[in-house]
Structure 1
Amino acid sequence: MRPENLTEKTSQHTSAQNDRFGDQQNRNEHHNHINSSSKSNNNSPKLHPMMAVQIKPSPVGILILCISFVILIYYMFRSTDVSTTSSISIRELISASIDVAERGGREVVAVKKEHEEHQKSKGETKEGANDPVTDGDFRSHVKITSALRKTFPYLNLVSEEHDQGDLDLTKVQSPNLHIQEVTDHTNFDEIVPVEELTVWVDPLDATQEYTENLLHYVTVMVCIARKGVPIAGVIHKPFEQKSYWAYAGSGLSPILIKQEPKDASKKNVIVSRSHAGSVKEIVQSRLENTDVIPAGGAGYKVLSLFEGVANAYVHTTLIKKWDICAGNALLSAMGGKMTTLKGEQINYDYKDSARNEGGLLASLSGKDHEQFLTALQGAMDS
């Protein structure tokens, strides 16, 4: 045998042995890998049979979740105001009336403090008394009417004063429609078509007394009438920072309290000091044991009935409806009356005249009212 052949065979034998050794080593490594994986899998936690079951959401649960989401979005973005351009919440309008009356009152006080009366004359009354108008009237009027017009643009609004040029309502702060006191002290609300309502505004009652620094007589008044009948009113005393309000049949201001007369043996009558006319002589000639109390401002005189100062408020000459509407509403809410001296109801619809020429009788007692009516029969013709 040739040496090269021996060498070749020896090489082939060695190569075959190496191949068999490599195959065996690979099989051992593969076997070790399998064993290692098996051990690893055996050490992992086993799943409970119940955990393998898929959880399916309940249709009822999904529905409840969706409804809850919709309610949440609604309350996040809804408006809490009830009033619209075509109908108005009386409760919201009362809150707005209180707010704007107090705004007007702050202007009245500010003007007095700034000594900016700059009186202008409206002319003389039938009795010859001067009837001045001041900056306080105008500034209060603007504050009240602009805020009401911004929120209730189609509301029939009648004010003692008149606008001086167009107002930019975009700069006007909207009134508060949700005063907590009103919510707490009213039993119900009414949503009323806007065309049925008339709001009467007296931005400064007792103007004469205002200029004379008799400030306890001064009031700011807002009244709400429905189909000519006063159903709610606000009388604000700016120099005392008190607001008296009432909503007939629903509720009233907690400070509006009926007090008994200090002297039950007398029937006191309160009359106007600046529109006296012949009322003193008429009352004293027709009613026995009666004291006549002169006072300023129709709003003040109505509040004096609640305070027990007088049994009746009598006026025998012309008086404007913005002077008496709020007082009429407060009296009605407490079971009182306000009529002409002939016992006729006063119409406060905006289509009717702003002048009440039938005289005035107001009282908190129906019995007193009838007695005074009987005693004063024919007084307007005297």
Structure 2
Amino acid sequence: MNETDMWNKASFLTRLVASSVRVSEAAGGIIKNVMAGGDLKIIDKSTNGEPSDPQTEADRRAQFLIVKSLTERFGGINIIGEEDVTSDCNSIEKTFSSDVLQLEDQIGQDLKSIKPEEVGIELKVVVWVDPLDGTSEVAVAVKNKNAALLEQVTVLIGIAYHGRPVAGVIHQPYHGGAGRTIWAIRGCGVHGIVPAPAQNARVVVTTRSHLNQNVLDALDALKEKGLASNVEKFGGAGFKVLKVLEGCAAYVFASKGCKKWDTCAVEAVLCAAGGRLTDISGRDLCYDASVQRNNTGGVLASAPWVNHEEYIKSIPQSLKDQLPEVAAKS
């Protein structure tokens, strides 16, 4: 069967993921082009004394391409991106991944039955986009001429259905020079990476640029329980979850700074590999269109070989109660 026939046979969700894979890679190309040009046009989006929240021309152009490409192919699909302001990149990605289309027969009937024309589809299916996860690392890499930090940059496209992630794409433009793309659909495993087996060491990853006392206290509590033999700090939720898939035990962020576009894609990928991602009290995150953008209950992601509940229970309730969402639901 040729690619056109595969596309015509495929269900809406399969097509959406197949397109998202190629769109994420095109966005990665834009990021690398902007970086190579040297003029990042960095602005700070933070307000009211909040921590610095940098945005670059790469963020703006990459999101423009992602939204324009998916909207032109899938009409009025509901896309929620990180950036409120974008820059026209005069480009659109029309190709798709045939590797994704080949999984059509493995996809569950509930996902196959999603129809773009059904009433209320814009509320049922939401695409969460972070066009450049790890912008802080980009800014530091440029300032300090530390190209190694660019490995932590990812493009994230997550697809939620009825508020829960069902598919995700993580593109890592600087991995190995040429980049790599990891993607998953619920029930069909994870592709583009081979999850690491159980490790003797319990290495935990956390934020590099948004550390605070609550995060440090949570990590100390895990160390006391023997659940964190070492702590490594990285940027970007996408990269940290990739580290979990590559052998780290967990990603712990007991703070409110992470947002839905940071976690939708990575939760779909991690869960497809057998891992879990919740807030630090063990509650599932909701990705409905109307939900608040901030993950105010924090984030805890665990490897497939880790007992997620063990990590949840080892973080003191007093620390959990420091987070707005946890305190409100306690």
* Percent identity over paired residues: 31
Cα drift, residue 366 of structure 1? 6.9
User: Do 2:218 and 2:254's aligned partners in 1 also have CA atoms closer than 8 Å?
Assistant: no
- Seen in structure 2, the aligned counterparts of structure 1 residues 360 and 120 have a Cα distance that, compared at 3 Å, is same
Which residue matches 2:132? Answer: 204
Displacement after TM superposition at 1:180 (Å): 2.1
Structure 1 residues 271 and 125: alpha-carbon distance in aligned structure 2, compared to 1, 3 A threshold: farther
Q: Following the alignment from structure 1 to structure 2, what is the Cα–Cα distance between the partners of residues 174 and 118?
A: 24
Does 1:156 find its partner at 2:78? yes
Residues 161 and 100 from structure 1, CA distance in 2 versus in 1: closer, same or farther, beyond 3 angstroms? same
1: CA distance between counterparts of 2:218 and 2:272? 29
Distance in 2 separating the partners of 1:156 and 1:324? 17
- Between the two proteins, the alignment pairs up a number of residues equal to 294
Alignment of 1:295-374 (within 5 A): 295-308=234-247, 310-318=248-256, 319-365=258-304, 367-374=306-313
- 3-state SS of 2:310 partner: helix
Query: For 2:291 and 2:167, how far apart are their aligned partners in 1?
Result: 19
Q: Is 1:112 matched with 2:35?
A: yes
Partner of 2:321 in structure 1? Answer: 381
Please name the residue that 1:140 is paired with. 62
Aligned counterparts, 1:159-308, within 5 A: 159-164=81-86, 173=92, 175-177=94-96, 179-185=97-103, 187-189=105-107, 190-194=112-116, 195=121, 196-213=124-141, 214-240=149-175, 241-253=179-191, 255-260=192-197, 262=199, 264=200, 266-278=201-213, 279-288=215-224, 289=226, 290=228, 291-308=230-247
Contact 1:185 1:251 in 2 (8 A): no
Counterpart residue identity of residue 141, structure 1: Q
CA pair 343-285 structure 1, distance change in 2 beyond 3 A: closer
Cα displacement (A) at 1:78:
8.7
CA 325–125 in structure 1, closer or farther in 2 if over 3 Å, else same: farther
Unpaired runs of 5+ residues, structure 1, are 1-74
2:22 pairs with 1:99: yes
Q: Distance between the aligned counterparts of 2:278 and 2:5, measured in 1?
A: 44
Higher RCO (CA 8 Å, separation ≥ 6 residues): 2
- TM (norm. structure 1) is 0.71
Within 1, Cα distance between the matches of 2:210 and 2:98?
38
Q: State the 1:186 CA deviation.
A: 5.6
| Secondary structure of residue in 2 paired with 1:236 | strand
Deviates more, 1:115-124 or 1:220-229: 115-124
Following superposition, the deviation at residue 215 of structure 1 comes to 0.2
Flag the 1:236–1:163 CA change in 2: closer, same or farther, 3 A. same
CA–CA distance in 2 between the matches of 1:82 and 1:354?
35
Change in Cα spacing, 1:320 to 1:97, as seen in structure 2 (3 Å) is: same
Decide whether the 8 Å contact of 2:218 with 2:316 is kept in 1. Answer: no
AA aligned to 1:334 is: A
CA displacement 1:252-300 (0-9 Å, x = unmatched): 31x32111355x1x32211001111121232113433421111111000
Q: Which amino acid aligns with 1:180?
A: S
Tell whether the 8 Å contact from 1:224 to 1:233 is kept in structure 2 after alignment: yes
Q: Secondary structure at the match of 2:61?
A: helix
Work out whether residues 338 and 362 of structure 1, in 8 Å CA contact, stay in contact via their aligned partners in 2: yes
User: Once the 2 structures are TM-superposed, how far is the Cα of residue 192 of structure 1 from its aligned partner?
Assistant: 0.8
Q: Which amino acid aligns with 1:260?
A: P
Structure 2 unpaired stretches of 5+: 142-148, 323-330
